Homo-oligomer: A and B are copies of this chain.
Amino acid sequence: MNATIAERLAWVAVDWGSSNLRAWAMADDGQVLAHAGSERGMLSLAPAEYEAELLRVIGNWLPATGRVPVRVCGMAGARQGWREAAYLPVPTRLDGLARGAVTPPVSDPRLEISLLPGLCQHPDDSGRTFDVMRGEETQLAGLAAREPGFSGAVCLPGTHAKWARLEGGELCRFETFLTGELYQLLASHSVLAHSLGDDDPTHPASREAFVDAVRDAVAAPQAFSARLFGIRAQDLLDARLPAGEARRARLAARLSGLVIGLELSEVCRELPRDSVVTLIGAESLCARYALALDALEMASQRLDAGAAVLAGLGLAHAALSG
């Protein structure tokens, strides 16, 4: 036990995803006392294994006696997770996620666990389609908590990139894109794998190839799968490409631009010209999206994903403790 932390510990914030878990020891005044994590997420845990894994990560923060609230968002609340916290339907106010929280059974009497729900969306006349999120809603709640009454378009890039429309702190609708997964599949397992290397977004030639590809995808999204094969053909035929790793980096940047551009060609149709898109995520990925948006004359601002999820878990903690 770490006495310095245990003395001041008010609650624990946990973001527990498909492939990892991140936890923060929180003081009453919102200060982060410590943070820790592991690479065991929903995909590698059976329901009976969650408690032990959590104790392995946060056990030395806990006092010897007394109950500590642990607020958890993400895939731990999925049907295949620790215990299902059923989806709440959109539209929904983001300050009300706590009403869908569930409590899994635990052995250690010090743990008071709340698993927050994800969100689901059903088709309707306004163009909504079937969609789900689990984890990102808490980041969106964090944004709304930090900027009360927030309205605007929010993008959470990643394996399954999410775009959400917020109006006065309400989540109106959202759309998920297979962008990151498409990139990985194509770069690792397709005929393009032979042509691609490590993308280096800091290199001017890679940036140019990325931006050109974004513009190409937006100009003709229907040509997407032809443009994919075009990467292979360009590798075979284009005498102006450099050799070796520079060539492979340039073509990887083009693939990245095509998949992100396809995503943007869908969302940008509905965004007014003067919109500022809020990006929530890791710095390097958000920088790439910012570059793509800039190429389409769209402005963006960034909120760190960790800061967002902590703010959202804090909001849920306040509601559950009130």
| A177 CB–B CB distance under 8 Å | yes
- Contacts A132-B236, A189-B185, A236-B132 known; A178 to B225 CB distance under 8 Å? yes
Q: Which residues of the partner chain B approach A122 to less than 8 Å between Cβ atoms?
A: 237
Smallest Cβ-Cβ distance to A129: which chain B residue:
B230
Give CA–CA (A227, B129) in the complex, Å: 9
Give CA–CA (A78, B119) in the complex, Å: 51
Contact of A234 among B130, B179, B228 (CB under 8 A): B130
Contact A263 B225 (CB under 8 A): yes
Q: Which residues of the partner chain B approach A265 to less than 8 Å between Cβ atoms?
A: 222
Contact of A160 among B229, B236, B266 (CB under 8 A): B229
Q: Give residues 216-238 of A contacting B (CB, 8 Å).
A: 220-230, 232-234, 236-238
Contact A130 B233 (CB under 8 A): yes
Contact B226 A130 (CB under 8 A): no
Contact B191 A181 (CB under 8 A): yes
Contact of A233 among B176, B182, B189 (CB under 8 A): B176
- Contacts A160-B191, A186-B185, A190-B185 known; A177 to B222 CB distance under 8 Å? no
Contact A262 B160 (CB under 8 A): no
* Interface size class of chain A, counting residues whose CB lies under 8 Å from the partner chain: 35 or more
Contact A229 B259 (CB under 8 A): no
Contact of A223 among B132, B186, B234, B266 (CB under 8 A): B266
Smallest Cβ-Cβ distance to A231: which chain B residue:
B130
Contact B177 A226 (CB under 8 A): yes
Contact A262 B225 (CB under 8 A): yes
| A45 CB–B CB distance under 8 Å | no
| A120 CB–B CB distance under 8 Å | yes
Contact of A225 among B131, B189, B222, B259 (CB under 8 A): B259
Max chain B C-beta neighbours (<10 A), residue from A179, A223, A225, A237: A225
Closest 6 CB pairs of A and B: A221-B222, A130-B233, A222-B265, A176-B229, A178-B228, A222-B266
Subset of 29 A-B contacts with CB under 8 Å: A120-B233, A120-B237, A130-B233, A130-B234, A130-B237, A132-B232, A132-B233, A132-B236, A175-B226, A176-B230, A177-B225, A177-B226, A177-B229, A178-B190, A178-B191, A178-B225, A178-B226, A179-B225, A181-B190, A181-B191, A182-B225, A185-B190, A189-B189, A222-B269, A224-B224, A224-B262, A225-B259, A225-B262, A225-B266
